[in-house]
Chains A and B, each alone.
Chain A
Amino acid sequence: MTPSEGALARLTPVLTKRWLSPDAWRREVYEQLDGYTALRKALAAHPDDLIALVKDSGLRGRGGAGFPTGLKWGFIPQADGKPHYLVVNADEGEPGTCKDLPLMMVDPHSLIEGAIITSYAIRANLAFIYVRGEAVHAARRLQHAVAEARAAGYLGTDILGSGFELEVVIHCGAGAYICGEETALLDSLEGFRGQPRLRPPFPATHGLYACPTVVNNVETIATVPYIVLGGAQWFRGMGTEKSPGPKIYSVSGRVNDPGQYECGLGVTLRELIELAGGMQDGHELSFWTPGGSSTPMLTAEHLDVPLDFEAMAAAGTMLGTTAVQVFSDQDCPVYAAYRWIEFYHHESCGKCTPCREGNFWMKQVLRRILSGEGTHADLDTLLDSCENLLGRSFCAFGDGAASPVQSSIKYFRQTYLDYVEGRRPPLFGSPPPRPAWAATELAGAAR
């Protein structure tokens, strides 16, 4: 199915504009395609003016929470005599999210250029890119790009004769979703176990090594050079008033052409599905996530809700990382919730009670329901557990874990009841057996 003119008109290739050019990851190619022109322009400006520019552009963080980027930079205390750091969050672990990795693979220099400009603006002389541990290929690509940039004088001392000095360190994470949470990331970067830190103090004043630190998502930082080149007004020409700019939507699931579609914020699912070649044959949209598993799922009734921060909040969910996962009538929402909770249980850092224990519990209850051994009370228990988890946990991970359960029961209570009341065949035999040694002990006790 070819997308209509109208849908195609929603595409705004800005960050993805080089993605189809061969070898765009090489410096010469990047330079031929406007690369590092924004850096020259930025270095000629006063750092404060850059912060003001990003504020004016209305850029909001692309890592999930949508925090205004310029405002975040503005929190960094200036002339405090402490070193400042930029930390780029390239941990990309949210289920369904897959935009940062291709960007780093295809266009790593745009991230490096953004990091240099940002560091200059916040007066950092050392920047880290914390790359998800499994993404060795991306880390290599970045390392290569850093070497190229240094050789060309974009990194090092006296960058392009401006007197500005910067080093970029590529750091490979140790493989935990929680290390994407910014304070856990900082602990991990410092060599500790990745667990979120108590806030306040916030990273803006006590971040890496207790120094002022900006943590931004890959896409956020990669957007910066375009704002410097195009200006705030140009940027605001895309997206909506409160959610301006282009955004990479990662469409996956039951569509014909899953992939990255860069549109102005506020595109709808209907348009995205069209851009992605429509639903697969024989599949009908059933439920979907607007921005990864931590964002409550929506259904076909939300096909025309704009995918921007405000409209998603109004629909009772979140824009998140714009990881649009499309599920069809052939997918079971209860099973999806179960798999997600398996993920949250596996990845919970264990620090706080509701998340550590709540996911452990919900996973078993969901499995019991899918095994045909659930009860009506289990549904209430699940909802009540979510209530006791949401907003009670130490970090936002716990809130994210409540999302799939709450939203799936909200929209698909009937499916749950079908399992409980025996109208759906069980997906599993019985609950997982007890550990072998426990079984022996019990047997021993019985004897």
Chain B
Amino acid sequence: MTALDTPTDEVTLTIDGVEVTAPKGALIIRVAEKLGIEIPRFCDHPLLAPVGACRQCLVDVEGQRKPITSCTTPIADGMVVRTHLTSEVARKAQQGIMEFLLINHPLDCPVCDKGGECPLQNQAMSTGAAESRFQDVKRTYPKPINLSTQVLLDRERCVQCARCTRFSEEIAGDPFIELMDRTSDEQVNVYREEMFGGEPGPAGSHSDLGSEPLRSYFSGNTIQICPVGALTSAQYRFRSRPFDLVSTPSVCEHCAAGCAQRTDHRRGKVMRRLAGDDPAVNEEWDCDKGRFGFRYVTAFDRITEPMVRDPQTGALRAAAWSEALAVAAEGLRRARDSSGGVGVLTGGRLTVEDAYAYSKFARIALRTNDVDFRARPLSTEEADFLAAAVAGRQGPTYAEVEQASAVVLAGLEPEEECPILFLRMRKAYRKRALAVHALAPFRTTGYEKLGATVLPCAPGSEATLLAGDASLAAALSQPGAVLVVGERLGGAPGGLSAAVALAERTGARLAWVPRRAGERGALEAGCLPHLLPGGRPVTEPRARAELAGAWGLEAGVLDSRPGRDTGAILAAATAGDLGALVVAGVDPADLSDARAAEQALDAVPFLVSLELRNSAVARRADVVLPVAPTVEKAGSFLTWEGRLRPFEAVLATGAMTDARILDALASQLGVQLNTRDVPAVRAELAALPATDSPRHPPPQVAPAPPPVPADGQAVLATWHQLVDLGTLQDGDDELAGTARPSVVRLGKELATRLGVGDGDPVTVGTGTGALTLPVEVVDMVDAVVWLPTNSPGATVRRSLGAAAGALVSVSVSVSVPVSASVFVSVSPGGSR
């Protein structure tokens, strides 16, 4: 090949005698991989910056007087590389390093969690000598130590590759874990007073915890990328051996990020979950909630058999499926044919297939449009926005956000609410200085790690800023800019209307990021009162006709009148205007007024609950039908991008999907739903034609004047922390221990007016109740208080019955706040 044929950005070199052309700047180790030559390595990781610390990847390069590290050296034109396969120098160098690495390694493979999947073990076999010449005393450490409640470190196993520390600093931006000390005593650790001449922590249960434990939502990834068994999780440690596990590719059911995962089980029990490798979505990472939060499935209150309410005793009792289905069908039929009708609340955690079944069940078995997936604060404006701007549209992707010229965030704190989107944005910020703008009441650590410019914004004022702020418009006018709105923006009157208008005006792409894994899927499946599957407006004759055709219905079966939304359905129940309710995975504690929702559930004459666990809904139901959790069924989620994430069942149990149960219920009502099995639903979904019907018009709600707090009042700002009291995190105490402490945040002015400083107890109240937490004074818009929505000591919706933007009272508390940690083990009353 002559130089002329080679594009300037490619170079040609030889590795082990094979000529190869690769992009300039590529590292030798990567190019060798492409040729199938695997150079042993420890510190190298394709997603981390090279360090060249372990020296395991030494290769021989012609013209160099000593072997060089292939993980740090970019290729050059004409380079002649010899790896261990063809060079004695390289082979000997690698073997020498391996011998060094093993002298201080305990070689306790038989009891090590990593044994069987350990890069050190594997590479010691491939690269090391059969026997070590080391016969002296190894460096040892007394015991494993906690880096956090979840992550444990056995220091003697560590090979000081700095993958974990680089991950924390580069990828997650949580640098509380570092390499410390020097020479053979160099060790990974968190800040400990005693290492810097101070007193060791108090003896007791947590004495092993550093003074500044690793607090990161992504800490589990360090365990996965550790090339030895030095890092283990409290959850999996000593539980199993890799070769006893059955691995299944899976998709995380927690948030709308849609991470690819791998679920490992042994004899019908899930032992652990790992991040899957999906360059388009989560790259090789996941968050701790997705990794560790799976024990809710095996919680003590899992419902395993159907139940009906006994007319005599008034209590729920176990029943056969046939009885339960018959009772449910009879109750629903009566309600359907009465004036009140039936409402359907599906929640945001269903698979696409199950959501579709609910949507179809409501429309043709219950003949109602009273269906809504939103189990959270919501508005009509939001429903209109979703129908007009999200449903059926291909939104920007992770890659497009990464490549964006600018990203504006409104109503979204990505680290808390969509962690993998956060990581992707952080990558873009670090690699190409992505400009991030955020509308928020204060600069969170998450925004800090994104280098975001924060536009101070009290809850409720988003619309005004989106409509009028010149800097936002300028940023979004650049080609490739993306406006990302979270589900919370729906709580700010006019916010979503302003967002649509702004995107239109600037040409920016618009993305909607809900918090839960099933929301986007439910939207596409038509679980909204005015929207049929495929983004078809209920009111459009053509939309109804298309669907009637696909479903084989007579004309006129599909109701043309929009139904009631979650709020209206519950209000109707309370007012006695609803005949029955079918509720899937909904926790009343998630609704903007939890107590009002429970009153509605109490009031409705007939309640059918399709549930996993004995929840607040199940306890009130007339019929309870147990459904399969994600791990026991096949299905799909849609990421916030609208990307389909299909998965198969990990565990084969008898548990039934919601769709299958609805199919059976429908046939009791004389309707054929055809949602018995997942392949059938998938086939039906795939066969749905693209719609020709006009779209729903976008909302045009004017910004409302922001609430004006009186003396002693403030505007409530609140969102969920990633690790909190959500019921899908039940049973994972080690994970709960890594949660951010609950605090009430307020600005300096308000703090001065109240006369409080960091740590002082402050009470936030409404007519419903009050919460008292230690205060953290931050740079906050004045007269705003922030609370975590559903954290220990801060169950905002249940205790305050208020959502973001509400006026709350703020006062200095006379009583000492209950330490947040007391609440960690309290799990009931949580939400999804």
Contacts and interface: CB of A to CB of B under 8 A. Distances in A.
A345 B104 CA distance: 14
A357 B104 contact: yes
Contacts of A358: 100
B142 A361 contact: no
A435 interface: yes
B629 to A, nearest CB: 44
A377 B65 CA distance: 28
Contacts of A385: 96, 100
Contacts of A346: 183
Contacts of B92: 387-388
A94 to B, nearest CB: 17
Interface stretch (B49-57, B314-322, B387-395, B686-694): B49-57
A357 B103 contact: yes
A351 B43 CA distance: 11
Interface stretch (B27-35, B129-137, B270-278): B129-137
A393 interface: yes
A351 B53 contact: yes
Given A348-B182, A391-B65, A431 B55 contact: no
A288 B324 CA distance: 95
B764 to A, nearest CB: 40
Nearest to A365: B136
Contacts of A360: 103-104, 139, 183-184
Contacts of B104: 357, 360
Contacts of B101: 353, 357
Interface in B183-204: 183-186
B96 A356 contact: no
Nearest to B159: A353
A354 to B, nearest CB: 5
A361 B101 CA distance: 11
A431 B96 contact: no
B140 A361 contact: no
Nearest to B64: A391
Contacts of A349: 182-183, 186
A350 to B, nearest CB: 3
Contact of B96 (A347, A387, A434): A387
A394 B72 CA distance: 11
Chain B interface extent, by class: 35 or more
Contacts of A359: 183-184
A124 B743 CA distance: 48
Contacts of B134: 361
Contact of B179 (A350, A364, A368, A387): A350
Interface in A351-378: 351-354, 356-361, 364-365, 368, 377
B67 A391 contact: yes
A431 B136 contact: yes
Contacts of B103: 357, 360-361
A48 to B, nearest CB: 31
A126 to B, nearest CB: 26
Given A358-B100, A388-B96, A176 B140 contact: no
Interface string B163-192: 000000000000000111111111000000
Interface residues of A, number: 40
B133 A381 contact: yes
Contact of B51 (A198, A357, A384, A434): A198
B183 A392 contact: no
Residue of A198, A359, A388 with highest tally of chain B CB at under 10 A: A388
Contacts of A435: 140
Nearest to A375: B135
A353 B55 contact: yes
Contacts of B56: 353
Given A198-B51, A368-B136, A388 B183 contact: no
Residue of B54, B93, B180, B183 with highest tally of chain A CB at under 10 A: B183
Given A198-B51, A198-B52, A361 B182 contact: no
B613 to A, nearest CB: 45
A394 B55 contact: yes
A163 interface: no
Interface string A218-238: 000000000000000000000
Nearest to B56: A353
Interface in B464-489: none
B67 to A, nearest CB: 7
B66 interface: yes
A350 B97 contact: no
Interface in B29-88: 50-56, 58, 65-67, 72
A347 B56 CA distance: 22
Given A176-B182, A361-B103, A437-B142, A350 B51 contact: no
A392 B97 contact: yes
A392 B185 contact: no
B79 to A, nearest CB: 16
Contact of A392 (B93, B136, B159, B180): B93
A431 B137 contact: yes
B50 A388 contact: no
A391 B140 contact: no
Nearest to B51: A198
Contacts of B67: 391-392
Contacts of A388: 92-93, 96-97, 99-100
B718 interface: no
Contacts of B97: 353-354, 388, 392
B222 interface: no
A67 B89 CA distance: 28
B54 A353 contact: yes
Contact of A350 (B52, B136, B185): B185
Nearest to A387: B96
Given A388-B99, A391-B65, A392-B97, 12 more contacts: A345-B183, A345-B184, A346-B183, A350-B181, A353-B54, A356-B183, A356-B186, A360-B139, A392-B96, A434-B137, A435-B140, A437-B142
Interface of A: 176, 178, 193, 198, 345-354, 356-361, 364-365, 368, 377, 381, 384-385, 387-389, 391-394, 431-432, 434-435, 437-438
Question: 9 nearest interchain CB pairs?
Answer: A388-B96, A350-B186, A391-B66, A364-B136, A357-B100, A360-B184, A348-B183, A350-B182, A381-B133
Interface of B: 50-56, 58, 65-67, 72, 92-93, 96-97, 99-101, 103-104, 133-134, 136-137, 139-140, 142, 159-160, 178-186
18 contacts: A176-B182, A193-B180, A198-B51, A348-B182, A348-B183, A350-B185, A351-B53, A351-B160, A353-B54, A353-B56, A353-B159, A354-B100, A356-B186, A360-B103, A360-B104, A361-B134, A388-B100, A394-B52
